Amino acid sequence: MSERLKASIQLIATMLLVALVTVLAKHSLKSVDAFDFIWLQMFFAIVAISLYTFVIQREKLPQEVPLRAWLIILAMGVCNFTLVRTLFIFALDMMSVTTHAYLINFVGIMTMFLSAIILKEKPTAIQFIGAIVAIVGIQVYFDIFPSGEQLTGILLIVFAVFFLAMTNILMRLLHIKYPQSVSHNLVSCFAVISGGLPIVLYGSQDFQSVLNIKLFDWLIIAANGIVAMALVMNVFNLVMRHLKAFEASILASTGLVFTALISIPILGDSLNARQVAGISLLLIGISCVQIKNFSRRSQQ
């Protein structure tokens, strides 16, 4: 099995787990305050990834790492945890989990455009057309223009998608500019701590409300911190050694299908014809973005 195929399988399996914990998070947000959920999941993520990195893997702090490499890791932490994870949960509290997953999956398209601008990994014409098809799907998905709380949630997702795409670009940039300078375990650990610790410190100043959280909700919060934050960051850092930035984002879009399917039995959600059509256009669009890479492999 090639390293690229192995990385792809690892990423898809991780997205299945993320879909499950995200659906459960939507269930918990009915009884848990959104910000309490945010800082508590970050606490669990920091503990989990620190134990894994320094106790299980016994990683040592590297010597003579360039300052710019550390700054990239710091920027990844701020983008992905201080901003993205906070915006994600607030937005999830304002809309259905399937709509939430649908909008998040435009990160692949955003990453493709940012990759072309920043990393000079330019898309082909068919890839650009695929992005347009996916964007058209938004008009199909929403039968009426969103308003009120849902519109606020969408705006939060727009900012979150941009910063998540920037995280992908920064991750790719780190592996291009400073290969092997810092292990993927340490990159993940430092990013989670640098981005999550400020939120944890702020949230822990008023922890009285968390004392009333039920055990099942505690388990869901912990699962989101460990899986959706610590595990995802580690897996993405690992697979980005073998996949391009937008390739990883496109494969991560399988989480949309998983989320839609899992939400049916757990939350009782359903999809109408317009939503199915919008999701289909998104999947067609992101498939087009992969054409260049599949055709290149077939010629090798």
What does the pLDDT look like over 211-266, one tens digit per residue? 889 999 999 999 999 998 888 878 877 787 777 766 676 777 788 888 988 999 99
Residue 295 has a pLDDT of: 42
The answer to whether 59 and 53 have CB atoms below 8 angstroms apart is yes
pTM: predicted TM-score of the whole model, two decimal places: 0.84
Q: Looking at residue 32, what is its pLDDT?
A: 94
The pLDDT of 133-145, averaged and rounded, is 82
Confidence at residue 249, expressed as pLDDT on a 0 to 100 scale: 65
Q: Is the pLDDT of residue 122 over 80?
A: no
The confidence score (pLDDT) of residue 184 equals: 81
Question: Using CA atoms, how far apart are residues 114 and 275, in angstroms rounded to an integer?
Answer: 27
The secondary structure of the chain, three-state, reads CCHHHHHHHHHHHHHHHHHHHHHHHHHHCCCCCHHHHHHHHHHHHHHHHHHHHHHHCCCCCCCCCCHHHHHHHHHHHHHHHHHHHHHHHHHHCCCCHHHHHHHHCCHHHHHHHHHHHHHCCCCCHHHHHHHHHHHHHHHHHCCCCCCHHHHHHHHHHHHHHHHHHHHHHHHHHHHHHCCCCCCHHHHHHHHHHHHHHHHHHHHCCCCHHHHHCCHHHHHHHHHHHHHHHHHHHHHHHHHCCCCCHHHHHHHHCHHHHHHHHHHHHHHCCCCCHHHHHHHHHHHHHHHHCCHHHHHHHHHC
Query: Which residue segment(s) compose the domain that 221 sits in?
Result: 3-299
Report the pLDDT value the prediction gives residue 298, as an integer from 0 to 100. 39
Q: Where is average pLDDT lowest: 13-27, 30-44, 50-64, 119-133?
A: 119-133
25 CB-near residues (< 8 Å, 6+ apart): 37, 89, 92, 220, 221, 224, 228
Contacts of the segment 52-58: beta carbons below 8 A, 24+ positions apart: 52/185, 52/189, 52/230, 52/234, 53/185, 53/186, 53/188, 53/189, 54/189, 57/185
Tell me which residue of 221, 233, 228 sits closest to 189, measured CA to CA.
Answer: 233
Q: What is the mean pLDDT of residues 10-21?
A: 91
Residue 137 CA to residue 132 CA, distance in Å, equals: 9
The mean pLDDT value of the chain amounts to 86
Q: Is residue 145 predicted with pLDDT exceeding 80?
A: no
Cα 289 off chain centre by: 19
CB atoms within 10 A of CB 30: 9
164-170 average pLDDT score: 90
The position carrying tokens 């702020």 is 202
Number of domains in the chain: 1
d(CA 27, CA 9) in angstroms, rounded, equals 28
The better pLDDT of the pair 293, 77 is held by 77
pLDDT band at 182 (very low <50, low <70, confident <90, very high): confident
As given in the structure block, the two tokens for residue 280 are: 């289909």
| 133/281 Cα distance (integer angstroms) | 6
Q: Does pLDDT of 83 surpass 70?
A: yes
pLDDT at 100: 92
Tokens linked to 228: 């959706």
Tell which wins on pLDDT, 218 or 147.
218
Determine which of 54-63, 114-123, 162-171, 201-210 has the lowest per-residue pLDDT on average: 114-123
Place of tokens 């989320």: 259
* Residue 131, pLDDT score: 81
Query: pLDDT tens digits, residue range 21-56?
Result: 999 999 999 999 999 999 999 999 999 999 999 999
Which of 296, 287, 249 lies closest to 133, judged by CA? 287
Taking 80 as the threshold, does the pLDDT of residue 291 lie above it?
no
Distance CA 223, CA 25 (A): 9
